[in-house]
Structure 1
Amino acid sequence: MKSEVCTLVLALCVVLVNPMSLLGPSFTRYDPCGLGLIQFDKTLTEHLWTGVLNFGLYPDLNEVVVTIEFKDVIRFAWTPDKSEIFFRGNAKNLIIKPFGVPPKRYIFYVLLLAQAEVPVVTSFKLNNQTLCSEEEKAAQTTDSFNLTKEHSSYQHVCGRRSIDHTELVTTGADARDGDWPWHVAMFIVDAVDKKKEVYQCGGSIVSWTTVLTGKGFIISWTSFDREDSRHQHVCGRRSIEHTELVTTGADAREGDWPWHVAMFIVDAVDKKKEVYQCGGSIISWNTILTEDSRYQHVCGRRSIDHTELVTTGADAREGDWPWHVAMFIVDAVDKKKEVYQCGGSIISWTTVLTAGHCVSSKGTITEAHRVLLVAGTANLSDSSAPGLQRFYNFQAKKVILHPSYTDDLPTADLAILKVDKLTFTKYIQPICLWTPNYPYDKSLLFGKDATILGFGLTEKDVFSKTLRTSNTVVQTDAACIAYAPDLYPRLLNEFSFCVGYGPKYVINPRNGDSGSGLLLPVQQSDHKIAWFLRGVLSKCGMKTGAARCDPAYYVVYSDVAPHYTWIAHHAGLKYHA
């Protein structure tokens, strides 16, 4: 595929398959326990680190005492900010007390002894509340991201009763205590007379913290569509001949349990071979609930050894960015020939988000069976990478192009790749989508630091076999338009934004980085950072006659936030406020 040459002074280029230009020093950051509050950035001076306390994340703080316990002795610590900063007991326990209301961003410096390379923190306390500890680190494994395991007993024992209520149950009569142990009665307390309770509805216990009723609650693993509202009135009922008399502890009759389904898997080779897999429950006229529907997983997190210390502006390690995938296109004639095409981001265990132009050109969409994805690796030449998963997107899997996609604009330059179910590991994790829980006014992005990554062209104009990362900054529309008034006005709107350090630097995505994400760290309620996907790389600038992106120019991303509903629908994700 070749880029088109335009007659403008600057030409618009869809970032095609020709990684990233990186000149200058790399950037190393240490985030104790993955917290958003504290970070350490390595300086160019040997053993000197800049510490940052982001007090702005806690707007109600009036007085602050920070206690930091380091693994190794600190040679020296100081700050230009007005505060007390001193060691207590030994040179491992640092106390910081800003004067008055703390600044939004507090800067301090630590100088390490020669034998120490990183200011490793073993304990961090804010106003005597422990936010980071060795125990916390030990618990922060990828297994902990599977929230379903917190209720694993629920998955194995739901829908069962004790043996004396299982073998013999009479229906069409008053039930005994314990016959239907998941049923609850719901009463409404009078707004005036608190002692008056009026029976309202029934409900069903579906977890140890949740009751599902007709309209009162929507639980985390399913929801009711508006057009399916009739389902709320008729669910859980059977015809009269199956309601009054049912025998349990024996083979059921047809119609006794009309919501139960059997799920079979068709063999990938022998299409006539079907293997029983699971049971399921019909919960609406277009939805079946199986075990996977209850699965919950933390997004945007990494194992602790890839959370605390990460270097950007350099080659990534396996597991540093576990949601990034490389996308190849299999030649239509020579099935053994695979050509690198784009990057993408894992957003669920069956879904990768990439750029629309990576799978569509001039109205033709790439066939799904020709898409090959490589996940779990930071080195495409290392076939023995510990997390590598290679798989074709075939059979009933799909390439879904955004309905508003056009070749020339970044407004909806998005596509979804449905894949075989991924196994989440230390090296493969989903990234968070920018949900309606966060404001998506793009003006709030201006000036923010972000991380970019990809396998595209290097500054030496050769393909990179290793995943490269860099920091960048989101620019205002005005800054980009002022730089190239013939190019950016038609690319920038409420659905896109531009990124880069500008012409004085040559750190930018290039050909081959298309479809890769722009990543933002966002602090969560547990005080730790989760990484969110805010943009998908769409366009870059180049000089007239050039065939490759010029890293001196700003690049344009499609903003995923306004498209959350479309993405979540096709990814099978549910929004939680």
Structure 2
Amino acid sequence: MLRSSRSLLTALAVPLAAALAIVLTAPAPATADRVVIGGHPARTVEAPWAVAVASRAIFGDKRSGQFCGGAVVGPTTVVTAAHCLSGGVLGKDWRDVRDLKVIIGRNDLRKKDGVEYPLARVWVNPAYEGDNRAGDIAVLTLGVAVPAPYAIRMAGTGDQAYQPGEPASVYGWGDTEGDGTYASSLRTATVRVLADSVCESAYPGNAEGDYDPRSMVCAGLPDGGRDACQGDSGGPLVVRGRLVGLVSWGSGCAMAGRPGVYTRISSVAGLVAAHG
């Protein structure tokens, strides 16, 4: 997640914003890495649609090469954040990364269970702008279909899951402390969907970011304490069993008054259908 400077390279170097799960502590432009701070262990068997996006060639073998999260939304369709596939996170054009994979069913990234799926196609939203962060969506098409129960339904426009106050769960393998301590096993944290007015006040268009309610939704707690962080970018935000958002950006991790900002799934569902 791009947490005011969350990007993989930033989370690795300074916290590379997405590639590793976002470990930035300074409020810089939010990006691609956040890893569930204030959460607890989860199991992929209970959240089979929560997946890891990985490249061992770039991020090494220790955690299966995981650098971002994603969500299965169809037999061969996985969604993640566009910024996860940026040069700032990968250090090169994503087309030059030969071993991009989606790992499904591997709870502990240090192990070998689950399945590593090669990609048949990648689509990164060309309209995504790193400065304003709107349209932070990429679609990964798997070369082999997964069982139907692995997919989660995307929340549409007007879905009650977007109502302020709704309990929401965010999932990831990212930074658990905000200091570069990345999880090896999947974690989840419970937050709440926040009113757009709260998010607009937190991110009014200054250096920390500009919240756009048409393409974004935010979630957190008034006093902070629970949030996604570096390395969680692209991971799912789930309400009432529906996918409502993907970890996108924010200022710091789990800070009071600085909620996490997510790509609003209802705003990009058409793009997913067209490119999945």
Q: TM-score, normalised by structure 1?
A: 0.40
Aligned match of 1:406: 129
Aligned match of 1:339: 65
Aligned match of 1:65: none
How far apart in 2 are the matches of 1:334 and 1:457? 17
How far apart in 2 are the matches of 1:463 and 1:346? 22
How far apart in 2 are the matches of 1:459 and 1:336? 19
Q: How does 1:177-256 map to 2 (within 5 A)?
A: none
5+ residue gaps, structure 2: 1-8, 16-25
Q: How does 1:132-531 map to 2 (within 5 A)?
A: 313-331=39-57, 339-361=65-87, 365-367=93-95, 369-383=98-112, 385=113, 388-393=114-119, 397-424=120-147, 429-435=150-156, 439=158, 445-459=163-177, 461=179, 462-483=181-202, 485=204, 486=206, 490-502=210-222, 504-521=223-240, 531=241
Q: In the alignment, which of 529, 533, 540 is matched to residue 250 of structure 2?
A: 540
Q: 1:370 to 1:350 in 2, by over 3 A?
A: same
Pair 1:563 & 2:268 matched = yes
How far apart in 2 are the matches of 1:489 and 1:476? 17
Q: Give a deviation string over 1:247-294, Cα, whole Å, max 9, x none.
A: xxxxxxxxxxxxxxxxxxxxxxxxxxxxxxxxxxxxxxxxxxxxxxxx
How far the C-alpha of 1:539 sits from its partner, in A, is 0.4
How far apart in 1 are the matches of 2:198 and 2:219? 10
Code of the residue aligned with 2:265 in structure 1: it is V
5+ residue gaps, structure 1: 23-312, 522-530, 543-548, 572-577
Q: Give a deviation string over 1:316-347, Cα, whole Å, max 9, x none.
A: 12411010111112426999996321000011
Greater relative contact order structure (CA < 8 Å, 6+ sep): 2
Q: 1:13 to 1:336 in 2, by over 3 A?
A: closer
Q: 1:19 to 1:332 in 2, by over 3 A?
A: closer
How far apart in 2 are the matches of 1:13 and 1:563? 20
Code of the residue aligned with 2:225 in structure 1: it is V
Aligned match of 1:2: 10
Percent identical? 24
How far apart in 1 are the matches of 2:128 and 2:44? 33
How far apart in 1 are the matches of 2:198 and 2:58? 43
Q: Give a deviation string over 1:375-422, Cα, whole Å, max 9, x none.
A: 012221232x4xx111322xxx11101131112233200001111213
Q: 1:408 to 1:318 in 2, by over 3 A?
A: same
Does the 8 Å CA contact 2:217/2:261 hold for their aligned counterparts? yes
SS of 1:370 mapped into structure 2: coil
How far apart in 2 are the matches of 1:356 and 1:376? 23
How far the C-alpha of 1:484 sits from its partner, in A, is 5.2
How far apart in 1 are the matches of 2:167 and 2:229? 19
SS of 1:423 mapped into structure 2: coil
Does the 8 Å CA contact 2:234/2:248 hold for their aligned counterparts? yes
Aligned match of 1:136: none
Q: Give a deviation string over 1:210-257, Cα, whole Å, max 9, x none.
A: xxxxxxxxxxxxxxxxxxxxxxxxxxxxxxxxxxxxxxxxxxxxxxxx
Bigger Cα Rg:
1
TM-align CA RMSD: 3.1
Q: In the alignment, which of 554, 561, 566 is matched to residue 259 of structure 2?
A: 554
How far apart in 2 are the matches of 1:432 and 1:491? 25
Code of the residue aligned with 2:139 in structure 1: it is I
Q: TM-score, normalised by structure 2?
A: 0.79
How far apart in 1 are the matches of 2:172 and 2:123? 22
How far apart in 1 are the matches of 2:200 and 2:35? 25
How far the C-alpha of 1:354 sits from its partner, in A, is 0.3
Code of the residue aligned with 1:480 in structure 2: it is C
Please list every run of at least 4 consecutive aligned residues from structure 1 whose deviation after the TM superposition is greater than 6 angstroms: 332-337
